[in-house]
Amino acid sequence: MRVVVQRSLEASCKVDQKTIGKINQGLVLLTAFTEDDTMDTIEWMVHKVLNLRIFEDESKVMNRSIIEVGGKILSISQFTLYGDTKKGNRPSYIRALNGKQAEQLYNIWNQKLSESVPVETGKFGADMKISLINDGPVTILLER
């Protein structure tokens, strides 16, 4: 499982020119799954994301989690995070989990996150247009 975590001032997702997910302060999570991912993987990653101390405290030190600042999550599925370009210039997506299984894990991922913070989502498998004002910028790559 790979997750790109981006601290956001505001972000949105459009499909067919219609906004389907929108947040203000919070995190944009670009998420991809691979065949080795399990419920344990998801639970570990949920814990990691929810407890990442990447929001500033009153001293301007990144010392607070999304839970502590009352932020929201915009969760986007993005299988291209498993694009392998070691050979040639066209990425290979062999390590990305197939659509049906990946969608099931994506839905579980979002449900687990939403138990602690509000979660907006994109649409799995859709052509999405993501807008983001990255705060900082702060971008973290998580992998398990």
Domain count, the chain: 1
DSSP string, 27-70: EEEEEE-BTT--HHHHHHHHHHHHH---EE-TTS-EEE-HHHHT
Amino acid at 34: T
CATH assignment at residue 33? 3.50.80.10
State the average pLDDT for the chain: 97
6, 31, 78, 121: the active-site residue: 78
Is 80 an active-site residue?
yes
Give residue 118's pLDDT.
98
Domain containing 16 equals: 2-143
pLDDT band at 60 (very low <50, low <70, confident <90, very high): very high
What value does the mean pLDDT take over residues 17-43? 97
Whole-angstrom CA distances from 106 to 24, 71, 111, 114, 126 are 22, 20, 9, 12, 14
Q: What is the pLDDT of residues 76-103, one digit of tens each?
A: 999 999 999 999 999 999 999 998 999 9
Give residue 68's pLDDT.
97
